[in-house]
Amino acid sequence: MGSAALGGAAPARAGLAPKNGVLGSTFKPCGGFMLKTTPKVGRSSVCVRASIASSPQKQYSAKTPAVKSGEEVRIAVLGASGYTGAEIVRLLANHPQFRITVMTADRKAGEQFGSVFPHLITQDLPNLVAIKDADFSDVDAVFCCLPHGTTQEIIKGLPQQLKIVDLSADFRLRDINEYAEWYGHAHRAPELQEEAVYGLTEVLRDEIRNARLVANPGCYPTSIQLPLVPLIKAKLIKLSNIIIDAKSGVTGAGRGAKEANLYTEIAEGIHAYGIKGHRHVPEVEQGLSEAAQSKVTISFTPNLICMKRGMQSTMFVEMAPGVTVSDLYQHLKSTYEGEEFVKLLNDSNVPHTRHVVGSNYCFMNVFEDRIPGRAIIISVIDNLVKGASGQAVQNLNLMMGLPENMGLQYQPLFP
Catalytic residues: 219
> Which of 234, 242, 203, 220 is CA-nearest to residue 328?
234
DSSP codes joined into one string, 246-270:
EEE-GGGG-SS--GGGSHHHHTT-E
> Which of 240, 241, 260 is CA-nearest to residue 252?
260
DSSP codes joined into one string, 50-87:
TS----PPP---TTSPPPPTT--EEEEEETTTSHHHHH
Residue partners of 270: CB distance under 8 A and separation at least 6: 247, 303, 304, 305, 306
Give the separation between CA 40 and CA 313, rounded to whole angstroms.
48
The dihedral of CA 280, 286, 287, 292: what is its sign?
A: positive
> Which of 356, 411, 354 is CA-nearest to residue 381?
356
The dihedral of CA 87, 90, 93, 96: what is its sign?
A: negative
